[in-house]
Structure 1
Amino acid sequence: MSFWKSLFGGGAASTEPAGDKVLGEEGYKGFLIKAVEMKAGSELQLAGTIEKEVGGELKTYRFVRADRMTSRDDLTAIALSKGRQIIDEQGEAIFR
């Protein structure tokens, strides 16, 4: 069963992917968006987290996209932009 959970993102959300470092972060509409370095061979894969305290509990949503690039600056800008887009589209519903 753990194979299916890891494949489809089931299970408890972690605050940050293990071993990955935060490249940049910004606050947006009460959420905290973090651009996370996720290596994919010699490239970087677009990934990040969105955090917000809801009902006294810190909730975290992790997103990973298929986009890959070599520039950390590009990755940071695009990941933060993608985080803003997710928040605008779904708001707190991402934590359900």
Structure 2
Amino acid sequence: MGFLSKLFGGNKAKKSPSVEPVEYNEFLIYQEAIEEGGQYRVAGRITKDIEGEVKEYRFIRSDVVASKGDANELMLSKAKMFIDQMNGNIFN
């Protein structure tokens, strides 16, 4: 039974790690680098509460770097640049 459990994942639900957002110009930026083959892809989410509804923009880039910290820092800078370039209107 152990083999089948490992093969099909058993009843264990994968928990995504809790990420503390960075606030920027009324947006919340979640840095969520994705591990790929020993490197990390720049990824995350940008959210904003608009009239009681939380809007979300998923952010996955082609950039791959050596460390998770570097990927998260690059995501943060790219997310801020995107918010600035769109004048805060990313959900319109």
Same fold (TM over 0.5): yes
**Alignment partner of 1:52 is 2:32:** no
* Contact persistence 2:43–2:72 (CA under 8 A): no
Aligned to 1:74: 70
- Written as runs of structure 1 = structure 2, the 5 A alignment for 1:8-87 is 21=17, 25-87=21-83
Unaligned runs of 5+ in 2: 1-13
More helix by share: 1
Q: Alpha-carbon deviations, 1:39-91, whole Å to 9, x = none?
A: 22221100011010011100010111111012122112111111101110114
Structure-1 separation of matches of 2:63 and 2:15: 20
Displacement of 1:25 in angstroms is 2.9
The alignment of Structure 1 onto Structure 2 pairs a total of residues equal to 79
* Cα separation, partners in 2 of 1:91 and 1:48, compared to 1, 3 Å: farther
Q: Which amino acid aligns with 2:71?
A: L
* Greater gyration radius: 2
Structure-1 separation of matches of 2:15 and 2:33: 9
Q: Which amino acid aligns with 2:54?
A: L
Unaligned runs of 5+ in 1: 1-17
Give the percent of matched residue pairs that are identical in Structure 1 and Structure 2. 33
Runs of 4+ in 1 over 6 A off after TM superposition: none
Q: What is the root-mean-square deviation of aligned Cα atoms in Å?
A: 2.1
- TM-score, structure 1 normalization: 0.70
